[in-house]
Structure 1
Amino acid sequence: MPEGHSIHRLARQFSSAFAGARLAVSSPQGRFAAGAARLDGHVLETAEAHGKQLFLHFDHDLYLRIHLGLYGAFDFGGDETFAGASSIGAPRRVGEREVAGDDDGAGYAGPPEPKGAVRVRLVSEHGWADLRGPTACEVITGSERAAVLARLGPDPLGPDASASASVQEFVRRVRGKGSPVGLLLMNQEILAGVGNVYRAEVLFRQRISPWRLGRDVTVAEAEALWADVVALMNDGVRQGRIITTEPQDRADPAEPVPVAEAHYVYKRTGLPCRRCGTAVAGTQMGARKLYWCPACQAD
């Protein structure tokens, strides 16, 4: 499932490529035809993300709310003025290839014929975006958007992430629960945007057992967790991928980070810990695969 950094990249790309443009909105597969009709012909004013939720705000005060889930993904293209990722979401395209236009200078003739089950197609004068396979895709009002946001925890990529109020809200929510912190970090009502990769990696980096109960996490530990998530996810937005290892823990710190060296414990079950050599453990927690180092993260 795309984590929060990918959704914030989506919001930035929509703002860059489509904000201020009047969009033709359709549903080639037909499942979103009624919703598309409510947005068709209106101007996209802003795009914003909170955690894993994407909100596209149109000029008649309606929002297109999208949650990509496990299988949702956007494809993009356009003329020579369009520059951005060609695909964002899951299944991932390694590196989220950067392109500038569809036709390599051959001339833009509009969007291609829809391929597969395109739930929503958004088309401007200069570009297009196709959405496939989202968990949620609906037109909502401003009050309905506010209700969605009220259910979510603070976003490490939000504009107020460095504010004391955001830090303390995260600390309060984590330490107020008797569930394992490995579950809490995946709970969008505790922390918006973190998924399986960031969950495993930040707990390793902070040497906290995923089995430690939230109420047993100290204030200092919770504050450090927040700070690390903020830093790592901002790196993810900039780089278009999740890299959590430090240069000193890679074979060649001067070279670009290969996929095999991007993480400490995620998907490394049975391999030696990069810090202590202990075999990385893997099991299920909350219906998702959990990875941790039994030595570095001893309870």
Structure 2
Amino acid sequence: MPEGDTVYLAGKRLHAALAGQLLVRGELRHPRLAEENLAGRTVLGVRSVGKHMLTRFDDGRSLHSHFRMDGSWHLYRPGMAWRRPAYEARAVLATAERVAVGFALHDLELLPTDAEDRVVGHLGPDLLDPEWDDAHAAEALRRFTARRDHELGLVLLEQRVMAGVGNLYKAEVCFLLGLSPWTLVRDVPDPARAVALSRELLLRNKDRPEQSTTGELGRGRQHWVFERGRQRCFRCGTRIAVGEQGDGVYARIAYWCPRCQPGPSPAPLHGAAARTARSRR
């Protein structure tokens, strides 16, 4: 699932390409929206909220989209070949100079702009909100500490607590805190640092496609533990462990260093079990 910085960057690029422009093509290839045609509408702007995207039009409506596991928005020049199959396209918004294509967008909805809270109002503070201030930080901290009996890794992923963290940043924040993802929130020594680190890492990467938490961009050096199962920890040399956290469809692969991140943890997964878990991340 894309991280909040990925969605932010997509929204930034879409806004630059579409804002203030008249749509010459506006197809929504979704069963509920197949009869809608946005051609002739002017795009007022595009913004992200956590992992949600809102594209606003001059008729007082907004197009809400969510990337889920495999969705994405691509930008092209007219006539360019698409990088994903046409049958995966769920939205095509074209101006005279740019073509925005939304692929595999399972969640797609047109709604009044003044009713956007219906789809994003449940979220916690957006970690990449341009207007983030002490009040946002305090609210995120309040929601975080209220989950005192829940596992740290799961709470970091909970968008109702704070919006934007995905599995990559969950793994990296836990590492930088020096805590197992299975540590209960009530046992986190500095909850405010967990919020601050989550925002810091997203901010660090919001304007580029590469996501680095180590400060390095070289291949294999970008992350402390994420997707480094069985490799050596950069800090202590211990092999990174791989496990699964959460239940059922909410289960996600977890990475941690058993030495740098003390605390409760399950038995690490190995071999075929680890590969199966990674395929469900």
**Normalising by the residue count of structure 2, what TM-score does the alignment of the two structures yield?**
0.85
Cα RMSD, aligned residues only: 1.9
Structure 1 contact 35–139 (Cα < 8 Å) conserved: no
Aligned ranges for residues 62-73 of structure 1 at < 5 Å? 62-73=61-72
Structure 1 contact 110–127 (Cα < 8 Å) conserved: no
Superposed displacement of residue 216, structure 1: 2.7
Gaps of 5+ in 2: 264-281
Structure 1 contact 185–191 (Cα < 8 Å) conserved: yes
* Alpha-carbon distance change, 128 to 195 in structure 1, aligned in 2, over 3 angstroms: same
* Alpha-carbon distance change, 281 to 21 in structure 1, aligned in 2, over 3 angstroms: same
The equivalent of 1:11 in structure 2 is 11
Q: Which amino acid aligns with 1:11?
A: G
Aligned ranges for residues 225-236 of structure 1 at < 5 Å? 225-236=194-205
* Alpha-carbon distance change, 36 to 5 in structure 1, aligned in 2, over 3 angstroms: farther
Aligned ranges for residues 176-187 of structure 1 at < 5 Å? 176-177=146-147, 178-187=149-158
Count residues with an aligned counterpart: 255
Counterparts of 2:150 and 2:202, CA distance in 1: 24
* Alpha-carbon distance change, 210 to 140 in structure 1, aligned in 2, over 3 angstroms: same
* 1:152-203 Cα distance to aligned partner (Å, 9 max, x none): 0111111233x11111111111111111010001111112111000100111
Counterparts of 1:165 and 1:269, CA distance in 2: 38
Superposed displacement of residue 13, structure 1: 0.8
Structure 1 contact 265–280 (Cα < 8 Å) conserved: yes
149-158 or 237-246: bigger deviation: 237-246
Q: Which amino acid aligns with 1:4?
A: G
Q: Which amino acid aligns with 1:290?
A: A
Q: Which amino acid aligns with 1:158?
A: D
Aligned ranges for residues 203-214 of structure 1 at < 5 Å? 203-214=174-185
Q: Which amino acid aligns with 2:259?
A: A
The equivalent of 1:278 in structure 2 is 238
Aligned ranges for residues 212-251 of structure 1 at < 5 Å? 212-218=183-189, 221-246=190-215
Structure 1 contact 31–119 (Cα < 8 Å) conserved: no
Structure 2 contact 125–163 (Cα < 8 Å) conserved: yes
* 1:198-233 Cα distance to aligned partner (Å, 9 max, x none): 100111012122111123324xx2221222222211
* 1:93-118 Cα distance to aligned partner (Å, 9 max, x none): xxxxxxxxxxxxxxxx6565873331
* Alpha-carbon distance change, 273 to 149 in structure 1, aligned in 2, over 3 angstroms: same
2:220 to 240, 260, 265: 260
Secondary structure of 2:75 counterpart? strand
Q: Which amino acid aligns with 1:121?
A: V
The equivalent of 2:126 in structure 1 is 155
Secondary structure of 1:291 counterpart? strand
Superposed displacement of residue 292, structure 1: 0.8
Superposed displacement of residue 75, structure 1: 2.2
Counterparts of 2:203 and 2:240, CA distance in 1: 26
Superposed displacement of residue 246, structure 1: 3.8
Counterparts of 2:36 and 2:234, CA distance in 1: 49
Counterparts of 2:146 and 2:255, CA distance in 1: 24
Identity of aligned residues (%): 31
1:295 to 255, 259, 265: 259
Aligned ranges for residues 117-136 of structure 1 at < 5 Å? 117-136=88-107
Structure 2 contact 9–208 (Cα < 8 Å) conserved: no
Secondary structure of 1:198 counterpart? helix
Structure 1 contact 152–189 (Cα < 8 Å) conserved: yes
Structure 1 contact 270–281 (Cα < 8 Å) conserved: yes
Structure 1 contact 155–191 (Cα < 8 Å) conserved: yes
**Normalising by the residue count of structure 1, what TM-score does the alignment of the two structures yield?**
0.80
The equivalent of 2:229 in structure 1 is 269
The equivalent of 2:277 in structure 1 is none
Superposed displacement of residue 31, structure 1: 3.6
* Alpha-carbon distance change, 111 to 123 in structure 1, aligned in 2, over 3 angstroms: farther
1:140 to 111, 126, 135: 111
Secondary structure of 2:127 counterpart? coil
Counterparts of 2:188 and 2:40, CA distance in 1: 51
* 1:80-103 Cα distance to aligned partner (Å, 9 max, x none): xxxxxxxxxxxxxxxxxxxxxxxx
* 1:251-288 Cα distance to aligned partner (Å, 9 max, x none): xxxxxx22311111111122221111122111111211
Secondary structure of 1:265 counterpart? coil
